[in-house]
Amino acid sequence: MTDDKTRPASEDSHIAQALPPVHEPEKTASTVPPLQAKYQLEESAWRSFLRIVSARLRASSIRTAKSITHRTLRIGVSARIFHPQAGAKGLSSKTLQYLEESIAQWVMARDVMVFMIPSVNTNGLIRPSNIRLRDYASHLDGLVLQGGADVAPETYSQQSTRPEWSGDRTRDMYELELLHEFIEADKPLLGICRGCQLLNVAFGGSLHQDIVTEVPGAIAHVNDLYDQHGHDLQFTPQSSLAKLFPADVVARVNSIHHQSIKNLGRDIKVEALSPVDNIVEAIRYQKAKFVVGLQWHPEFHLTGQSDLLDCTPILDSFLRAARETRL
């Protein structure tokens, strides 16, 4: 037996040549089993799909937001109500709901669509409706309560001291529901004259049924000149309305009302006064972004008219709030 130490080198070379060559597997940077590679491919495809869907949703959201932002504002205006008189004929024998032209034109001057909101009859036996005032609050961007008949004393738990001051209880009930639906929907509201008084009553406030007989020393707040009659106005310190006008503005407004706010309702803040007799001329409900009442008629103030306050900033503030709340 030959020892390995004594084996010739030539013999080792012959043995090596006789053995079959050994093939080692090729080494790669990363060897992935086939099943794992399949999962990685599927995951990659799923992530790509999610990225595409996400991008499309973002684009759709942007388009929707732009559409909402640029959509023409839709402002509702409460209806005045004409009640038929006994013995009347023709159209005068019917109940009419109508819109005073100036208020619609004042709001539309800012390229806004105006819709008069009629009262609804949900309990009628002949023509009941499933439409509610809440539906108007849902689909419109803001509400204007226009002026008109006195607020009925019964609406603020009093009795009328004279028959001609009995007011319009039917309209009160309709507008109070409308007012609360818009406030609950977080939509801006602007009450004008009667609308200002009703806003105060809606939160438990009361009214002077007649300024002349109930407020000694008060100046005349109504006369035969109608919207040509007016007086000076003073904004209260730190009021939101005051911030809309220059500090040195001379505020004079028309005056067409024989009733006025007496006791303030809950969370109602005075925004402006008649400086001579302290009759309340503007209020704000403090628990909403924009719920404001003006005792005067801004729609009768012509833009650029020298002696009366240009109320365009108030309208613009109201409409700005309407745009912001729909986003």
Q: Are 161 and 211 in contact (CB under 8 A)?
A: no
**Of residues 193, 208, 231, 301, which has the active-site annotation?**
193
Q: Are 258 and 210 in contact (CB under 8 A)?
A: yes
286 contacts: CB under 8 Å, gap ≥ 6: 267, 268, 269
Catalytic residue flag (residue 193): yes
**Of residues 175, 181, 271, 299, which has the active-site annotation?**
299
Catalytic residue flag (residue 11): no
Q: What CA–CA distance (Å, rounded) separates 258 from 192?
A: 14
Burial class (CB in 10 A: 0-12, 13-18, 19+), 207: buried
Q: What CA–CA distance (Å, rounded) separates 83 from 96?
A: 7
Termini Cα distance of the chain: 100
116: helix, strand or coil: strand
Count of beta carbons in the 10 Å neighbourhood of residue 122: 10
**Of residues 208, 257, 258, 297, which has the active-site annotation?**
297
Catalytic residue flag (residue 26): no
Q: From residue 235, how far is each of 217, 246, 291, 313 by CA, in Å?
A: 21, 12, 17, 14
Count of beta carbons in the 10 Å neighbourhood of residue 39: 11
List, by residue number, the catalytic residues: 193, 297, 299
